Structure 1
Amino acid sequence: MIARMAERVIAACDGASKGNPGPAGWAWVVADGDEAVVRWEAGPLGTATNNVAELTALERLLSATDPAVPMEIRMDSQYAMKAVTTWLPGWKRKGWKTAAGKPVANQELVVRIDELLTGRSVEFRYVPAHQVDGDRLNDFADRAASQAAVVQEAAGSALGSAEPPAAPDTVRSGGTRRRAAGSATKTAPSSRRSTSGNSTRTLNAKFPGRCRCGRSYAAGETIAKNPDGWGHPECRVGAGAGVGGED
């Protein structure tokens, strides 16, 4: 359990799935009163959906914190938040069925989270993901979950792990991209190369960067758009898969 540090704990959690379903990971982070990271943990899930990863991150956070201490939890998953705050009471009344009469997806995780929330004071706060000057705790959890999904290894402060690598770029609320603060890389096209038929286009990277597979690419190397950024053309499998909504 995390030691009692303050009268109110500020935390964030996030999950990632590279393909949805695909290699997945989860992460949580706890901060002090100045929102400096105190402890964090991340872990692999093998192949799982984004929704499973998001719920697992929340379950692991609640399991690792003192239930007697009020907590604010920041998340960028509206599915996970609504599942445990808005939809859950109705699911329970209907015998764990949705409004359409179907079994609730990820019921085991939702039931466990419901048990962990019982009797404790938790305020959920939605924060948009991947924003310039966005919430830094959510950003930390996002990067840690993404790294765990790619490398499929556990990490965290208890293991002496370094801070997860910075994301290559950040999305403005309007949808355009610019280099994130502290980020070492950004990708941009220097020329376009057409591919046959309706295949995803490829470009020559103007800057070095890191692919979703964890390997780097050099400036001038051919890259393609993946579900979560730019990277090697061969790593764009599942580029059309979504990452939100119920399973």
Structure 2
Amino acid sequence: MIGAVVEHIIAACDGASKGNPGPAGWGWVIADGRGEPDRWEAGPLGTATNNVAELTALERLLGAVDPGVALEVRMDSQYAMKAVTTWLPGWKRKGWKTAAGKPVANQELVVRIDELLAGRSVEFRYVPAHQVGGDRLNDFADRAASQAALTQQAAGSGAGSAAPPAAPDTVRKSAPARAARSAAAGSGGAAGGASGTRAQSGAPRTLKAKYPGRCRCGRSYAAGEPITKNTDGWGHPDCR
């Protein structure tokens, strides 16, 4: 168990699925006294959906924290948060049936989370995913889950693992600078002109997303964010 000597823990959890369903993983992270990522854990799920990965991440976090310590959980999954805070009481009253009378999806995970929540102080906080200057804990948990989905290997601070690598969204912030350097280096030569022609003729069609979604890399994109078509659907231009 974690957190036996503190009065309040701030944490985040996230799940990732590369294909939905596809190779999936979960991750959670606990903040230190300054609110920075400190202790963390991530693990593989084989082939699973985003929703299963998100719920598993929450279950693993709750199972790792001392139930006697107040906990704040930051999540970017509306589904997972509403499942355990809004819909769960109604599902239980209806014998684990939805309003439409159908069996509740991922019931085993939801039941386990309900058991872990019993008698403890847990505050859920929704944080939008992948925002510039967004929540550092959520970003860390997202990267940990994504790495576990890709590698299908467990990792964490307890195992001495290095922090998960920067995600595509972080790398993409430096793309304009790279493009400017490339243009400056090739502006006067034949190679630079040929490269420019290929880029113009072969550039993928990019448009602004009408609705939020999730890219093949496992990270979400927001409505209005640039996306492009890839072999698995729509996603970040850099992930094409």
Q: Is the 8 A contact 1:6 1:32 kept in 2?
A: no
Offset, 1:2 = 1.1
Q: Name the CA distance, whole Å, in 2 between partners of 1:201 and 1:19.
A: 21
Relative to structure 1, is the Cα distance of residues 94 and 232 closer, same or farther in structure 2, using a 3 angstrom cutoff? closer
Q: Which runs of 5 or more structure 1 residues have no equivalent in the other structure? A: 171-176, 180-184, 203-210, 214-222, 234-247
Equivalent position amino acid for 1:63 in 2: G
- Where 1:169 maps in the other structure, the secondary structure is helix
Structure 1 stretches (4+) deviating beyond 4 angstroms? 187-190, 223-228, 230-233
Do structure 1's residue 121 and structure 2's residue 128 form an aligned pair?
Answer: no
Aligned to 2:223: none
Count of paired positions: 201
- Of residues 159-168 and 186-195 in structure 1, the stretch that sits farther from structure 2 once superposed is 186-195
Offset, 1:38 = 2.4
- Where 1:140 maps in the other structure, the secondary structure is helix
Q: Name the CA distance, whole Å, in 2 between partners of 1:186 and 1:141.
A: 24
- Where 1:142 maps in the other structure, the secondary structure is helix
Q: Name the CA distance, whole Å, in 2 between partners of 1:119 and 1:186.
A: 48
Deviations 1:43-82 (A, max 9, x none): 0001000000000000000000100000000000000000
**Normalized per residue, which structure has more helix?**
2
1:4-153 superposed matches below 5 A: 4-153=4-153
Q: Name the CA distance, whole Å, in 2 between partners of 1:13 and 1:123.
A: 13
Offset, 1:152 = 0.7
Higher Cα radius of gyration: 2
TM-score by length of 1: 0.74
Q: Name the CA distance, whole Å, in 2 between partners of 1:128 and 1:5.
A: 30
Equivalent position amino acid for 1:167 in 2: A
Q: Name the CA distance, whole Å, in 1 between partners of 2:112 and 2:4.
A: 23
Q: Is the 8 A contact 1:194 1:201 kept in 2?
A: no
Offset, 1:32 = 2.0
Relative to structure 1, is the Cα distance of residues 186 and 42 closer, same or farther in structure 2, using a 3 angstrom cutoff? farther
The CA RMSD measured in Å over matched residues stands at: 2.6
Q: Name the CA distance, whole Å, in 2 between partners of 1:127 and 1:20.
A: 21
Q: Name the CA distance, whole Å, in 1 between partners of 2:159 and 2:200.
A: 43
- Where 1:14 maps in the other structure, the secondary structure is strand
Relative to structure 1, is the Cα distance of residues 24 and 111 closer, same or farther in structure 2, using a 3 angstrom cutoff? same
Q: Is the 8 A contact 1:16 1:149 kept in 2?
A: yes
Relative to structure 1, is the Cα distance of residues 118 and 35 closer, same or farther in structure 2, using a 3 angstrom cutoff? same
